[in-house]
Amino acid sequence: MPIAPIELHNLKIDELNTQQMIFIHLQETSVPIMLKHCVIRSTLSFICENVSHGMCFDKSKSLMPIISMCSILDQLGVCYNRIDISEPRFQNGIKRALYYFGEFDENNVIIDIIYALRNGLTHNVSLTSHDKFKDKYYHFRYDKEIESVYKLPESEWNGNYETLDTGREKFTTLINVENFKSLVFACVRKAEELNQNNQLELRLSGGIKQLFFDYMRTVEM
């Protein structure tokens, strides 16, 4: 039977099994879940709420929500494996999440694009990025008019900034932030669906206790 919040009301934290703790972790709602003697909420739910809020305002939607969306993917990929499909070759959390929960082929270009976007924004708030493993350069801009999450450039950028002076548009990888948000939230829901169907397992070395102490916030009642 699917897990429902109401069935957790009479359980203490140390009485939760792994599937129930994962259920709590994967909730997007801003409403905490009531347990016996406390309420509990995951950092994932906070960051999902912050993404939705930040996307509503022009001054905030161009940076922090995108970094946060990448962090959501990273957390999913770090925490979980699917048991119904083979494990990917990646160790990086973002790449694993896109494979497991976005259900992209390991060789799909979107995996490298989102990883490169995260690296540029997170490391030094840059809209350029260099994938050192594949020696590939990216120049990013946002475009809400494209129909997919990304659009590849007409020509591959070689990392030379003088090249961009010749007409940077043809070297630019475009990102539709709204479509990226839809993808990320779909990944969270896919993980939740898999957990309800007993097809998700923790990959954290510390198991259920690490999931709790790393990613949960409680308030005693």
Write the pLDDT tens digit of every residue in 35-46. 999 999 999 999
Exposure string for 77-89, b = 16+ CB within 10 A, e = fewer: bbbbbbeeeeebe
Tokens matching residue 10: 């009479």
Integer Cα distance of 25 and 18 in angstroms: 10
The C-alpha R_g of the chain, in whole angstroms, comes to 19
| Domain range for 42 | 5-220
Integer Cα distance of 86 and 188 in angstroms: 19
Give the list of residues 6+ apart from residue 42 with CB closer than 8 angstroms, or none.
24, 25, 26, 27, 215, 216, 217
State the pairing for strand pair 136-142/173-175: parallel
Q: Is the Cβ–Cβ distance between 78 and 203 less than 8 Å?
A: yes
Interval 66-109: pLDDT, tens: 999 999 999 999 999 999 999 999 999 999 999 999 999 999 99
146 to each of 72, 135, 169, how far by Cα in Å? 23, 26, 14
Interval 107-146: pLDDT, tens: 999 999 999 999 999 999 999 999 998 999 999 999 999 9
Domain tally for the chain?
A: 1
Integer Cα distance of 136 and 164 in angstroms: 15
pLDDT of residue 17: 96
pLDDT of residue 221: 79
Q: What DSSP character marks residue 5?
A: G
169 HSE (CA, 13 A, CB side): 1
Angle at 214 between CA 213 and CA 218, to 5 degrees: 50
